Structure 1
Amino acid sequence: MRILKATVLLFAAWLLATTAYAQVKVQLIDPAATQAGIQTVHSPHMAMQPAAATNQHRLLLMIPGTGGAAVQMRSFDSCFAAMGYYVISLDYMNNVITTVCSKSEDSTCFDHFRQEIMFGTPVSDKVAVDSMNSIVHRVTALLKYLAGKDAGWKTFLSRGMPAWDKIVVAGHSQGAGHAAFMGKHFRMGGVLLFSGPQDYLQQFHRPAGWQWEHGLTPVGRYYAFLHVRDPYVFDYQAQDVAAVIRPATADTTMVSPGVTVVGKRQVLVTDIDRKDTHGATLSTEFVPVWRYMISNATKK
């Protein structure tokens, strides 16, 4: 009887997940269509709406890594949409790799790199991003565009600006640093970091200064997922994450594919054997890890 009950429950869970995936609405939006002056860099923005029955009334904003196109995040985004989240993957100015600042003798190199890409402030000699094409403006324009087409997206706007407290920002590699930077400047609903940040000053033997700054997002809402053999150096990433989330615990816990995560640790690591260890944190075999991260990050 117990086996039969467990089988029924598993089937019900599978059916619910399958239904949720089937009812996800996917849109591709040309960035240039959201406002005059905004450029398309790699691909359309990608937006997903969850099934009504699973709607969490929260938005996950995904920021890809260096050279990454929004449409390449489809598998990742689909998993979160199936969990009930609205999801956006952003096309943005990401052709310059973050590690251009790693060996800089300018201790503010990373700070200015992030500032210019996030807000369009002309402070970096490594990138050239105007305010129109900054991450914040591109997100704002996209949300206004989506809200004009479907009232469901209006939830994530407040007085013409993103309702940051209803938005969980996630990022991979370079995008992880942007997500953490955004968490410093806005009170986000949560911050999820995958395989980053990479903002370690090798000449100074410490994380970049912006990571130590007091931020508007509570440190308990940050969760990171790293690979111990990441070619961008796990030890540097771990120190960056520890700087970002202090004084919260920076202790790590090892996770495995397909295994439910329990506990309260904010830094999750894997040693899974994959050719692309840097991209392994975005593998759909880690959906239970992602669920743990976003569920804990959004707890009130």
Structure 2
Amino acid sequence: MAVTQLNRKPDHQATTAASIVSFTPPVRTTPVWSRIIQSIRQVTIPVLPPLVTLTIMLLIWEVICSSPTASLPSPSRVITESWAIIIDPFYVGQGIDQGMFWHILASVERVAIGYFMAAIAGIALGVLVGQSQWAMRGLDPIFQVLRTVPPLAWLPLSLAAFRDGTPSAIFVIFITAIWPIIINTAVGIRNIPQDYQNVARVLRLNGLEYFAKIMLPAAAPYIFTGLRIGIGLSWLAIVAAEMLIGGVGIGFFIWDAWNSSLISDIIVALIYVGVVGFLLDRFIAFIGRLVTRGTANA
């Protein structure tokens, strides 16, 4: 009887162990509708607050300006009066009679040329000022004085020098955008950690290798901060400069609409100006994140 009981005990343990091993917890799968709701939330959460705010602002604007004695048109009136330029931005006429797209394109081209020149010169001068103590003492006071001059104050001088509207506007863009690029680049160069410089000495890097492998990567977040400030100032300056130089451009379009008392067209143009300025800033920020691998400011 004892032998029989001893023989049964291992069989019970083996059965229990086998049942434990063979047991697998049920796999919980996320329902399709839950994943759809989660995806919708990820898309709507960043977009919903600005849309709500914009809707409230438009409603307030509509209520305030709906009176016949209002000096500014309401949103509904803007759409009605400026529907032609809204629906056909690619219109091509004669002379300055162009659609909004061509005015924006002409302004963006001027900004691109002047801003590209300012980026190259600003980064080079910023590296010089940040790296050399003598250059900082000699150039920094001059830069601090010149950067306080309003952009439009340079326009008469540039018109006298170039005797043409387009190069004058490009020069205004250049002189406006270069200062934040110089200052931020110089700050970034001066803030390079001493450990990086010690590593460069240990590795015996020459000047070009130190510039490419140590200096620029370390100062890149500061440089792109200056570039973002510069592109914003450039877009502000071109709109003001084009009001004076004439020709095709969003600034001249706004001034011409004012002379023609087309307030609704001015409002539409200002919306275009804001959207394009936002996109330019986002573009520079995107390039900065790619170059600095996410260390630049978003």
Structures share a fold, TM > 0.5?
A: no
Give TM class, smaller chain. Answer: under 0.3
Work out which structure has the larger RCO, using CA pairs closer than 8 Å and 6 or more positions apart in sequence: 2
Between structure 1 and structure 2, the one with the greater Rg is 2
